[in-house]
């Protein structure tokens, strides 16, 4: 078998023999490829335990790309359906989201008319066995290759449903799953329309355009539109450009990309007349709006075309391209940065634990919108109207991460005798939720309590004054009481999350969206601005 070094030399000769300069960089690449291959071979031959070659190689590849940025990733053959979803908006499988909760993988979402829904699977169902194989302890990553497969093939699931003693067997026929990128649109009130866009998969722009036209059909006196990009992690660049083109006219440069190879730099302009360049527009963003969402929201801000409402966006100003690696595997590699009309790049400059760290405004470079308003680069798009995140507290995050809201709703829905209606449903069993938390021994440690624990450790020295220990204990008791008060203080927000979770069990993503916007302070603010032309126009005047 030829060594990697031999292959590398042949490739170098192919570049032109003596005319090709063998640089230090190319030597380092060749040398390290050979070292890597030798180590891989020796580990597989000599390590004390059996090694799965594919698993070992993927571990090495994942570590390699992890050292670069959070967006450069490797897709193995078993993960390729994720790539197909991003590029086609479809994947082959059963149409359900699965998460390991407790000992068993659990259905956490299913899509309307999907094979999972049609077979009778419900959110909250535990998967005890899959095709006769024990599913205990298996994560969604473990199950991805099993659950997805050729449309028409079948999967036999042994299911334990909450509230029922015995397991049941459900046969699911896999199909092609298409997840709607516009789960809901409609006129909300006061001649204001609403469009929810959850991802920039194929046809996102066509679906937004169709939704906008339907709004005019529903209300010919439409005064404004809310485009909701909250929690939208992005997707295809071309779809972002086409969505911008819906609201801004032909021939405007909306985004450019720059890479280390100058010949790859690109400039993208709108190429069609705008569908509607005059309708008042509000774009909702939050700290999970990223990439293509930041292009659309940033372009609307830079061109003074729409008002941004919410929280500062994620800060992903990088462009990725995919490359075929053979054997049905691919790499998604960051190749360039993108810049929006003002000339700014919104890429975060620092990361911690894979998440962007936003730098202070006074350390960010100033750019200017079309009208001359100041905007800043680096670390995301800052809204024109900033509102506090209403569901991002540590308490609520802990409730979510410990699956307590999910578990409570599963138990609650098993006892419901009547299907709730999306948009008008009101949750009225707060005490029942509190009782559930107590029964589950909910442990919530506030940030202040974590600091007190650190102080307690420091005070464990026998020489610590007793009065200090007494003061710390009194403070801890006070914090315990304040935690009970915090649950009550967050009652409205938590109840709203519970309502959305309940509605999703019966009406899927569409119903969940309808329920969410019925009690949403950010949408209320958007409607307030869009229905007041003077307040709306004032936002675009330089200060």
pLDDT digits (tens, 9 = 90+) for 356-381: 777 788 888 999 999 999 999 988 99
Do 141 and 216 lie in a common domain? Answer: no
For residue 266, being part of any structural domain is answered with yes
- Reported as a single tens digit per residue, the pLDDT across 51-70 is 888 888 888 888 888 888 77
Domain termination residue (choose one: 178, 198, 226): 178
Question: Encoding tokens for residue 403?
Answer: 């699956």
pLDDT of residue 77: 67
Half-sphere exposure for 538 (CA within 13 Å, toward CB): 7
Say whether both 400 and 384 belong to one domain.
no
Backbone conformation region of residue 36, classed left if phi is above 0, alpha if psi is from -120 to 50, else beta: alpha
Q: Is residue 119 part of a domain?
A: yes
State yes or no: pLDDT of 390 exceeds 80: no
- Reported as type and span, the H/E element at residue 9 is helix 4-14
pLDDT at residue 8, as a whole number: 47
Confidence at 456, pLDDT banded by 50, 70, 90: low
- Whether residue 137 sits in one domain with residue 44: no
**Are 320 and 255 found together in one domain?**
yes
Hey, what are 8's tokens?
């590398």
Banded model confidence at residue 9, pLDDT cuts 50, 70, 90: very low
Residue 279: DSSP 8-state: S
Length of the chain: 543
Q: Which of 22, 1, 131 is nearest to 11 (CA)?
A: 22
Over residues 230-284, the pLDDT tens digits come to 999 999 999 999 999 999 999 999 999 999 888 889 999 999 999 999 999 999 9
**What pLDDT is attached to residue 333?**
86
User: Higher pLDDT residue, 501 or 455?
Assistant: 501
Q: In the structure, what pLDDT confidence band is assigned to residue 474 with cuts at 50, 70 and 90? A: confident
Residue 22 lies in a domain: yes
What is the residue-wise DSSP string for 308-373? EEES------EEEEEEEEETTEEEEEEEEEEE-TTS-----S-EETTEE-PPPGGGS-EEE-TT--
**403 with 352, same domain?**
no
453 — pLDDT class (breaks 50, 70, 90):
low
Residue 515 lies inside a defined structural domain of this protein: yes
The pTM of this model reads 0.82
Q: Please name the residues in contact with 247: beta carbons below 8 A apart, sequence gap of 6 or more.
A: 274, 275, 276, 277, 279, 281, 300, 305, 306
Cα–Cα distance for residue pair 375/416, rounded to 1 Å: 50
Q: Whole-angstrom Cα distance, residue 45 to residue 267? A: 51
Question: Based on the structure, what is the number of domains in the chain?
Answer: 4
Would you say 404 and 101 are in contact if contact means Cβ atoms under 8 Å apart? no
DSSP state of 454: H
Q: What mean pLDDT comes out for the span 110-126?
A: 94
In this structure, the answer to whether residues 361 and 219 fall within a common structural domain is yes
64 is written with which tokens? 């390699």
Alpha-carbon distance of 351 to 359, in angstroms, equals 10
* 381 and 252 in a common domain: yes
Range of the domain at 127: 90-178
Q: What is the pLDDT of residue 325?
A: 83
pLDDT above 90: percentage of residues in the chain: 58
Predicted pLDDT at 19:
44
Q: How far apart are CA 106 and CA 127, in angstroms?
A: 6
Residue 12 in this model has a pLDDT that exceeds 70: no
- Same domain? For 161 and 190 the reply is no
Kindly state whether residues 227 and 276 are assigned to the same domain. yes
Give the separation between CA 321 and CA 266, rounded to whole angstroms. Answer: 13
User: Which pLDDT belongs to residue 118?
Assistant: 95
Asked, for residue 77, whether it belongs to a domain, the answer is no
| Residue at which a domain ends, from 178, 207, 236 | 178
Compute the mean pLDDT over every residue in the chain, rounded to the nearest whole number.
87
In whole angstroms, give the CA distance from residue 362 to residue 123.
Answer: 47
188, 164: one domain? no
Quickly list DSSP for 488-518. HHTHHHHHHHHHHHHHHHHHHHHHHHHHHHT
pLDDT of 531 over the 90 cut: yes
The verdict on 148 and 32 lying in the same domain is no
Work out the pLDDT band at 393, boundaries 50, 70, 90.
confident
In a domain, 424, yes or no: yes
Residue 272 belongs to domain with CATH number: 3.90.226.10
Asked whether residue 33 is domain-assigned, the answer is yes
Examine residue 361 and state whether it is found in any structural domain, yes or no. Answer: yes
Residues 399 and 370 in one domain: no
Find the CATH number of the domain harbouring 172. 2.30.42.10
What pLDDT, in 10s, does the model give residues 156-200? 999 999 888 899 999 999 999 888 999 999 999 999 999 999 999
């Amino acid at each position: 078998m030829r060594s990697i070094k031999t292959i590398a030399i042949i490739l170098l000769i192919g570049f032109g023999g003596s005319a090709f300069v063998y640089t230090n960089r190319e030597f380092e690449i060749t040398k390290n490829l050979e070292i890597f291959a030798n180590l891989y071979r020796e580990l597989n031959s000599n390590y004390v335990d059996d090694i799965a070659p594919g698993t070992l190689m993927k571990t090495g590849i994942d570590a390699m790309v992890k050292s670069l940025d959070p967006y450069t990733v490797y897709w193995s053959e078993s993960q390729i359906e994720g790539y197909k979803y991003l590029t086609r908006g479809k994947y082959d499988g059963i149409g359900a989201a699965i998460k390991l909760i407790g000992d068993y993988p659990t259905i956490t979402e299913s899509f309307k008319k999907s094979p999972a829904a049609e077979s009778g699977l419900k959110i909250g169902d535990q998967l005890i066995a899959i095709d006769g194989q024990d599913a205990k302890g298996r994560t969604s990553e473990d199950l991805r290759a099993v659950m997805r497969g050729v449309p028409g093939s079948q999967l036999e699931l042994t299911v334990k449903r909450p509230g029922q003693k015995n397991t049941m067997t459900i046969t699911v026929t896999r199909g092609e799953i298409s997840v709607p990128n516009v789960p809901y649109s409609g006129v909300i009130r006061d001649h204001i329309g609403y469009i929810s866009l959850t991802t920039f998969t194929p046809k996102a722009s066509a679906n937004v355009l169709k939704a906008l036209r339907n709004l005019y059909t529903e209300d010919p006196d439409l005064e404004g539109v809310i485009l909701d990009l909250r929690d939208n992690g992005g997707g295809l660049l071309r779809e972002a450009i086409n969505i911008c083109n819906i609201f801004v006219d032909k021939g405007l440069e909306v985004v450019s990309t720059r890479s280390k190879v100058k010949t790859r730099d690109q400039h993208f302009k709108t190429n069609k007349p705008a569908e509607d360049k005059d309708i008042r527009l509000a774009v909702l963003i939050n700290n999970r709006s990223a990439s293509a969402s930041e292009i659309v929201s940033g372009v609307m801000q830079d061109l003074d075309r729409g008002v941004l409402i919410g929280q500062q966006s994620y800060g992903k100003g990088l462009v990725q391209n995919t490359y075929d690696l053979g054997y049905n595997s691919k790499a998604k590699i960051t190749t360039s940065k993108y810049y929006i009309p003002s000339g700014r790049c919104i890429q975060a400059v620092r990361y911690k634990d894979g998440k962007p760290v936003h730098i202070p405004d006074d350390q960010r470079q100033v750019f200017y919108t079309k009208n001359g308003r100041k905007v800043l680069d680096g670390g995301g798009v800052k809204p024109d109207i900033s509102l506090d995140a209403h569901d991002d507290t540590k308490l609520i995050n802990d409730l979510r991460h410990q699956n307590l809201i999910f578990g409570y709703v599963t138990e609650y829905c098993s006892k419901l005798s009547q299907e709730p209606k999306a948009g008008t449903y009101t949750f009225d069993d707060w005490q029942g939720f509190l009782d559930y938390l107590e029964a589950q021994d909910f442990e919530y440690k506030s940030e202040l309590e974590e600091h007190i624990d650190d102080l307690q450790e420091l005070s464990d020295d026998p020489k610590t004054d007793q009065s200090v220990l007494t003061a710390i204990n009194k403070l801890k008791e006070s914090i315990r009481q304040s935690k009970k008060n915090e649950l009550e203080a967050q009652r409205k927000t938590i109840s709203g999350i519970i309502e959305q979770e309940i509605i999703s069990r019966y009406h899927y993503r569409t119903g969940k969206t309808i329920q969410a916007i019925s009690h949403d302070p950010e949408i209320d603010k958007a409607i307030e601005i869009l229905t007041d032309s003077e307040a709306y126009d004032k936002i675009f005047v330089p200060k």
